[in-house]
Amino acid sequence: MDLDVFVSTHRAEWDRLAALLRRQRRLTGAEADELVSLYQRTATHLSVIQSSAPDPQLTGWLSQLVARARSAVTGTRRASWHDVVRFLTQGFPAAVYRSRRWWIPTALISTAVGAVLGWWIATHPEVQASIAAPGQLRSLTRPGGEYETYYSSHPAAAFAAQVWTNNAQAAALCLVLGVFLGIPVLWVLFENMLNLGVGVGLMSSAGRLDTFLGLILPHGLLELTAVFVAAGTGLRLGWTVIDPGPRTRRTALAEEGRGALGMAIGLALVLFVSGAIEGFVTPSGLPTWARVGIGVLAELAFLSYVYVLGGRAVRAGDTGDVEADERSATVPMAA
């Protein structure tokens, strides 16, 4: 195909379509019909150019034109409360449930790594000395020290907001960076487990491990579970790059990526709950058993939510992706 001849033949149609799109809110009935016809023909032209004589600049411009025309023809779908309810009762729990073979091993291995780091720090004084000077260590671990006052050093609402922001950022990083073969996700996980191991090791060496666990467990169970879910999903996304299975790599990444983005929203809500517990329950005057009990109940509620609603949704065919009628909402794009 002679691309120059093809362009000169159809350029007037493309320009006319662009002109109609600029004034789409003031079209007459005849012009609206013309827009639909030109949209269909331009989409065909784009397909012909891509298959016969691909030109990056031309295909990029026509792709944008077709996308705008498609939006004008089909309209923009607005989210409704039905979408919110479906996401919370089907989409999000289904996505978490489907990723369980990734985030459960991630949680177990990470917890083991944190425990080993804590034991290593607790039993090796030279490692403790490399972390901080003896005076600083006593300031951290003594009764009323920095580990204890950390949770009550700021107003509860401000502290909860700060915690939520930090944790949501860590979860989002795990989900987004997973596409880079999962390597950055492993680093984020290690940093989290190292911080936990340092706290366990230092407080254990001071004979105050029970105090530390009483402070960390109320919010930490749900918080770490959310991070593990994000990390496991990120690792799964990284593996999809390596082995997309029977799907094309582009299709597999699109499907898994959409599920991961939806999961980021759901995990932000989960981390909001853990942040509220950390801001209001952990520093409260409740006895330790009550604070830990609240954390355990929150964790069990989340796991039940995932396994009951998520399992039911997956068995019904939900994958955590957008609804089936929206998955084809794509336009031909330049490679």
pLDDT band at 101 (very low <50, low <70, confident <90, very high): very high
Question: 69 and 86 share a domain?
Answer: no
* pLDDT value of residue 157: 67
In the predicted structure, residue 75 carries a pLDDT above the cut 80: no
Q: Which one-letter DSSP state was computed for residue 124?
A: -
Instruction: Answer yes or no: is 167 within a domain.
Output: yes
**Residue 332 CB contacts under 8 Å (≥ 6 apart), including other chains:** 43, 46, 47, 50, 59, 63, 66
Q: Is residue 334 part of a domain?
A: no
Establish if 115 belongs to a structural domain: yes
163 and 271 fall within a common domain: yes
Contact partners, residue 59, CB within 8 Å, separation at least 6: 46, 49, 50, 332, 333, 334
Domain that holds residue 18: 3-74
**Total number of domains constituting the chain:** 2
Of the three residues 74, 102, 127, the one that is the final residue of a domain is 74
For 125, the token pair is 């004084």
Residue type, 240: T
The residue-averaged pLDDT of 239-263 equals 79
Q: CB neighbours of 231 closer than 8 A, spacing ≥ 6?
A: 103, 106, 110, 174, 185, 188, 189
Our CA angle for 197, 107, 116, nearest 5°, is: 30
Residues 146 and 206 grouped into a single domain: yes
44 and 89 in a single domain? The answer is no
* 175 in a structural domain: yes
Q: Assess whether 160 and 233 both reside in one domain.
A: yes
pTM of the full predicted structure? 0.70
**Confidence band, pLDDT 50/70/90 cuts, at residue 335:** very low
Residue 213 sits in the same domain as residue 318: yes
pLDDT of 304: 96
65 vs 86: CA distance, rounded Å: 33
- Is 238 within 8 Å of 179 (Cβ atoms)? yes
Residue 31 to residue 174: CA distance in whole angstroms: 48
Residue 155 lies in a domain: yes
Chosen domain end from 32, 50, 74: 74
The fraction of the chain above a pLDDT of 70, given in percent, is 89
Q: What's the rounded Cα separation, in Å, for the pair 278 and 119?
A: 25
Place of tokens 């031309």: 58
What local confidence, expressed as pLDDT, does residue 76 receive?
57
User: CB atoms < 10 A from the CB of 6, how many?
Assistant: 16
* Length reported for the chain: 335
Three-state DSSP class for residue 70:
helix
Q: Is 37 in the same domain as 92?
A: no
Mean pLDDT confidence for 283-299? 92
| Boundary-marking domain end, from 74, 99, 117 | 74
For residue 307, which amino acid is it? Y
pLDDT digits (tens, 9 = 90+) for 15-26: 888 888 888 777
Q: How far apart are CA 229 and CA 95, in angstroms?
A: 10
The answer to whether residue 298 sits within a structural domain is yes
pLDDT band, residue 329 (cuts 50/70/90): very low
Whether the predicted pLDDT of 144 surpasses 80: no
**DSSP letter assigned to residue 28:** -
Are 144 and 286 contained in the same domain? Answer: yes
Closest CA to 196 of 119, 298, 288: 119
* Average of per-residue pLDDT across 120-142: 88
When mean pLDDT is compared across 125-139, 143-157, 234-248, the lowest value belongs to 143-157
User: What gap in Å lies between CA 103 and CA 242, rounded to an integer?
Assistant: 18
Do 147 and 215 meet the contact criterion of CB atoms below 8 Å apart? Answer: yes
Quote the pLDDT of residue 302: 96
Cα 163 to chain centroid distance, Å, stands at 17
Report yes or no: 94 and 314 within 8 Å, Cβ to Cβ.
Answer: yes
Of 25-29, 33-37, 91-95, 109-113, which one has max mean pLDDT? 109-113
Tokens of 326: 């929206």
Q: Is the pLDDT of residue 230 over 60?
A: yes
Query: Do 31 and 95 belong to one domain?
Result: no
Question: How does pLDDT run across 166-188, given as a tens digit for each residue?
Answer: 777 777 777 777 767 678 888 88
The listed range with the strongest mean pLDDT (12-26, 60-74, 114-128) is 114-128
Same-domain status, 117 and 64: no
pLDDT reading at 323 higher than 60: no
Verify that 148 and 287 share a domain, yes or no. Answer: yes
Average pLDDT, the chain: 83
Task: State residue 306's pLDDT score.
Answer: 95
Determine, yes or no, domain membership for 242: yes
Query: Are residues 56 and 157 located together in one domain of the fold?
Result: no
b/e code 12-31 from CB counts within 10 Å (16+ = b): eebeebbebbeeeeeeeeee
Asked if the structure places residue 331 within a domain, the reply is no
pLDDT at 156 (0 to 100): 63
